[in-house]
């Protein structure tokens, strides 16, 4: 009867030998580690305006939403946030989900109809990959950021409905997708473009409106935008934004929306305050850009292989998964938290450390963290 548990132990042993063990590490509220692993790009998660809005909403609504959005979970806080997000993103409407993961699952599935072809970038986030799989639609995975490959995939399926699925700023290496070129190809073939703006929202584009806005595509009727509210906005939840007809379709048919308990009203209120700060945060975005440039110069000067960041994600190549794990652990022992990406979380089987920069980290701490990363390098 316990054979299945023994089998799980054996699989855990194999992961350990491959350097793929994953461990939960709780942090305290007073954690003094320099955080280059979280996604609080603008430092808004602890901004007094954000926390005050959340506290006021807790007092008004209580801790949770108490139900799904279609039952009792929709509050004034949710609808106000959706209005602000739609205005910021330049779309007809926006719909808030309880997580960015569920937003992506719901968006991909809602775009699929009989015979739909999905064309997905090889470096897409797991939520987009799972959305394609769950949809049941035929999916063609194209080489990373390869517009010609996307064009060829669409040309090979004439007359079929199609959706091109991509991130704007990719979560692993922090590079920007060629969105304008992709849109020209999709429009030329009568296809739709779904863009996950998770790592761009608040960081790039006019007023921080994201990669889609930066590419001049805001409000285009054949573009759907998704994003998480847990990165530059410092909160939680996800959003799907686009034409009003599509948002209505999600409300009436989207299983990850209909059957999920709503985002807590306090989080919605806090995120709405963060949206206002992010839209006015050009100085924070300028600081992020300056830090990204500084990180690349210092790390490359030390002989490390570093990506060229288009936003606030900096990727450093590691020799292998075990080395990456040790490198990250050594940094943490010296008070610096960095991301550690290993297969199968990396689309190219290459291990790396990932730095997610934050304007909320004091400049002196950030520069010291770069020194620690270099000193701990294998």
Residues carrying an active site annotation:
39, 125, 167, 171, 196, 199, 231
DSSP state of 203: T
CA distances from 203 to 48, 92, 262, 286 (A): 20, 22, 26, 9
* CA nearest to 268, candidates 77, 51, 44: 77
What span, in angstroms and rounded, lies between the C-alpha atoms of 340 and 312? 16
Distance CA 231, CA 83 (A): 19
10 Å CB burial of residue 20 (0-12, 13-18, 19+) is middle
Determine phi and psi for 164, rounding to 5 degrees: -95, 125
- The string of DSSP codes covering 45-84 is TT-HHHHHHHHHHHHHH-SS--SBIIIII--HHHHHHHHH
Pairwise CA distance, residues 233 & 222, whole Å:
26
Closest listed residue to residue 345, CA positions, set 126, 119, 26: 126
Residues 351 and 341 sit within 8 Å (Cβ to Cβ): yes
User: Among residues 161, 163, 173, 172, which one has the least CA distance to residue 195?
Assistant: 163
DSSP letter at 237 equals: -
Strand-strand pairing, 313-317 and 34-36:
unpaired
The CA distance from 288 to 210, in Å, is 14
> What is the C-alpha to C-alpha distance for residues 135 and 125, in angstroms, rounded to an integer?
16
Measure the CA dihedral 156/211/232/93, to 10°: -80
The edge-to-edge listing of strands for the beta sheet with 336-341 is 34-36, 336-341, 352-356, 313-317
3-state secondary structure of 374: helix
């Amino acid at each position: 009867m316990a054979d299945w548990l023994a089998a799980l132990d054996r699989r855990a042993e194999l992961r350990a030998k491959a350097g793929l063990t994953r461990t939960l590490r709780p942090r305290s509220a007073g954690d003094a580690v320099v955080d280059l692993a979280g996604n609080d790009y603008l430092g808004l998660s602890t901004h007094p305006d954000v926390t005050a809005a959340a506290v006021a909403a807790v007092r008004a609504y209580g801790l949770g939403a108490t139900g799904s959005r279609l039952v009792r979970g929709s509050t004034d806080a949710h609808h106000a946030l959706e209005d602000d997000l739609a205005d910021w993103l330049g779309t007809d409407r926006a719909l808030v989900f309880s997580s960015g993961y569920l937003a992506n699952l719901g968006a991909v599935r809602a775009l699929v109809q009989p015979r739909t072809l999905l064309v997905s970038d090889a470096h897409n986030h797991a939520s987009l990959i799972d959305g394609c799989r769950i949809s049941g639609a035929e999916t063609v995975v194209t080489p990373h950021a390869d517009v010609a490959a996307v064009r060829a995939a669409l040309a090979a399926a004439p007359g079929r409905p199609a959706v091109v699925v991509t991130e704007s700023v990719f979560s692993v290496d922090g590079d920007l997708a060629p969105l304008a070129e992709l849109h020209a190809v999709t429009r030329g073939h009568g296809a739709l473009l779904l863009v996950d703006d998770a790592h761009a929202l608040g960081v790039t584009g006019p007023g921080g409106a994201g990669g889609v806005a930066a590419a001049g595509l805001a409000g285009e009727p054949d573009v759907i935008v998704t994003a998480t509210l847990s990165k530059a906005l410092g909160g939680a939840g996800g959003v799907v934004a686009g034409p009003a007809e599509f948002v209505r379709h999600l409300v009436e048919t989207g299983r990850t929306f209909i059957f999920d308990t709503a985002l807590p009203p306090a989080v919605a209120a806090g995120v709405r305050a963060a949206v206002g700060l992010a839209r006015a945060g050009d100085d924070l975005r300028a600081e992020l850009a300056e830090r990204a440039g500084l990180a690349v110069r210092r790390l490359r000067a030390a002989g490390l292989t570093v990506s060229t960041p288009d936003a606030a994600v900096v990727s450093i190549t590691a020799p292998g998964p075990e080395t990456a794990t040790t490198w990250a652990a050594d940094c943490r022992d010296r008070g610096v938290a960095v991301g550690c990406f290993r297969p199968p979380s990396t689309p190219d089987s290459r291990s790396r450390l990932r730095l997610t920069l934050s304007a909320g980290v004091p400049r002196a701490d950030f520069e010291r963290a770069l020194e620690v990363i270099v000193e701990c390098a294998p």
